[in-house]
Amino acid sequence: MSTISYLAKPSGVCCLEGNIHSGSPRGSFADIADVETYISQPAEGKANGNILLYFPDVWGMFPNGLLIMDAFADAGYLVLGIDYFRGDPVFMHRKHKDDKETDPNFDYEAWKKKHTAFANEAVPKWIEAAKAEYGTPKSKFACVGYCFGAPYVCDALAGKICSAGAFAHPAFLKEHHFRSLKKPLFLSCAEVDHTFDTEDRNKAVDIMREGGKKYHVQLFQEVAHGFALRGNMEDKYERWCKETSLKGIIDWFDLWLGM
């Protein structure tokens, strides 16, 4: 798979590393546009009336992702998370980058190609169905994506439904994703990230600045790709980075959806 034209490269071996976080997800699953979707509701009396669309990383509907969606719900958002891997996340094949026992014949490149093709076709239909089923005349939409989910955030921000978006440690992004933005984008980034390195991150910022886009870049020193979703919560600094990323995204959404 060629990566020459990418600013944020396709998911690599760094995406196979991570820590499973503790906690009990409280949401439920339902189908939206024939795709299984995790739904997390705000607590009674806490809803802000707005809806957050969640695009997962290659680990899909794993505990960390479900807990992050619950955290967004705690902030008042009705959260809808699409499982475009259809029950086939990468951890079913690789528990870590050196795992050759879980699925010895696993072809990571073929896996990415298959699920990217499905997601590219399914996500636009899913967004429209989510709006029709859960939207109200007063509700506004935001979107967030981690790694694999980043291009779907940018695509949504090039359309009319979402008022703001955010991603953390992105993958699969090309120049047009930044040039086509029509709504504000929050970028939560790791300093140690071969997928979205300093040169390409700066180029993305230049594109957004020259195009007059609304954006904010949050950059965390020393942490690596995956920190906002799969960081080590036993490490106080990594925990702080993960929680600060989450808070920054929530504040961003509160700002733009509150206007």
147 catalytic per annotation? yes
Distance of CA 230 to the CA centre of its chain: 12
Residue type, 154: C
Q: Which residues, other chains included, contact 6 with Cβ-Cβ below 8 Å and sequence gap of 6+?
A: 172, 173, 174, 200
Q: Say how far apart CA 188 and CA 87 lie, in whole Å.
A: 27
Q: Which of 14, 15, 143, 147 is catalytic?
A: 147
Q: Of 21, 115, 169, 225, which residue is the catalytic one?
A: 225
- Cβ-based neighbour number of residue 76 at 10 Å: 19
Q: Is 193 a catalytic residue?
A: yes
216 is catalytic: no
Q: What does the DSSP 8-state code read for residue 23?
A: -
Q: How far apart are CA 141 and CA 246, in angstroms?
A: 17
Residues with Cβ within 8 Å of residue 74, at least 6 apart in sequence: 42, 43, 46
| Catalytic residue, candidates 83, 155, 193, 197 | 193
CB atoms within 10 A of CB 80: 26
DSSP reduced 3-state for 191: strand
Token representation of residue 122: 């399914």
Give SS3 for 211.
coil
The residues that are catalytic are: 147, 193, 225
